[in-house]
Structure 1
C-alpha cells in the first residue's frame, strides 16, 4: 500500500536528506550517510519511502535559459471568455513550447502563464499570432521580467 504525503511524517534526518539532494541530486547516498552518521542503506530506504509518499517527485537537470539564447522571460495574465473555456485553453497553451508554466488563478486573471522567448520580436509574434489567437482567450496582460533576484526551492 502506497503511503500518501499526508500520512508520511518527515523527521530531521528526512529534512537533511531532502536538503542535500535538492542542492545536488547527484550526491552519493554514502556521502550523505557519512555526514549524518547513518548507513547508506538508511539513506536509500528513507529516499524510497519519500518517493513512495510522493514527497520526492523525481530528479531533473536545471538549464540556464539565457545560455541557450532565451533572453526574454515574461508572465502573461489571461482572461478567458467563459470559465468553461479553461480546459480547451489550457490544452492549446500546452502545445506552445514557449509556455513553461501555467497556473489557474483567482483574482483578475483566470490563467497566469510564464513564457521564455529569444527576443522581444519573438514575444510579440507569439503573443499576437499564437496566444491571443486562441479563441477561448478574451484578453491578456504581459509583464516582462527584468531580472530574477530570488529563485529558490521550498526548503523541507
Structure 2
C-alpha cells in the first residue's frame, strides 16, 4: 500500500478536526474556501489511509474522581510471557495504556486510580499477582504539563 501524501488542506482539516471533531464539513469548507464535498472526500481518503482512525470524547480524569496517575515499568520472568501478560493487563480497567519497550522494562504501563490506597490495591492484588511478572517499578505523576497529539 502506498503512503498517503498529505497536502496543506489535509493538514488544515486534521488540525480543525483535532480541535473539534464535531465541526460540520460545510463549516470547514467555508473556512478553507473549498466545497463540502471536497472536505468529505479528503476525510474519507484519510480514513482509508488509517490517518484518521476514529473520533473520541476527551474526559477530565480528575473530575471523574481519578486523582492518581502513575507509570509502571514491568519486568517479565521470560519474554515468551509477553502476549499473555498484555491480555491480563488489558483486563484491568485501571491500565489505560501499555507499551512494549526496549531498555530497563519489558512493558511500560500507564495506570489511573482514584487514590493512593486504590493504587496500592491494584499493584498488590492485580498487577503483582500476575505470576510471570518478576518485578515492577512505579513512578507517580505529579503533573501533566504537556499533553497533546502529534502535529500533522
When normalised by structure 2's length, the TM-score is 0.98
Q: Pairwise CA RMSD of aligned residues?
A: 0.7
Cα shift readout 1:94-121 (whole Å, capped 9, x = no counterpart): 1100000000000000000001000000
Candidates 83, 89, 95, aligned match of 2:85? 89
Equivalent pairs counted in the alignment come to 152
C-alpha contact (below 8 Å) 1:88/1:136 kept by paired residues: no
* Divergent runs of 4+, >2 A: none
Whether 1:31 aligns to 2:27 is yes
Q: Does 1:141 align with 2:137?
A: yes
Deviation at 1:65, TM superposition (A): 0.6
Find the aligned partners of 2:99 and 2:46 in 1 and give their Cα distance: 26
Alignment TM-score, normalising by the size of structure 1: 0.96
Q: Name the residue aligned to 2:128.
A: 132
Q: Which runs of 5+ in 2 are unaligned?
A: none
1:57 aligned partner? 53
CA positional deviation for 1:31: 1.1
Pick from 138, 146, 153 the counterpart of residue 149 of structure 2. Answer: 153
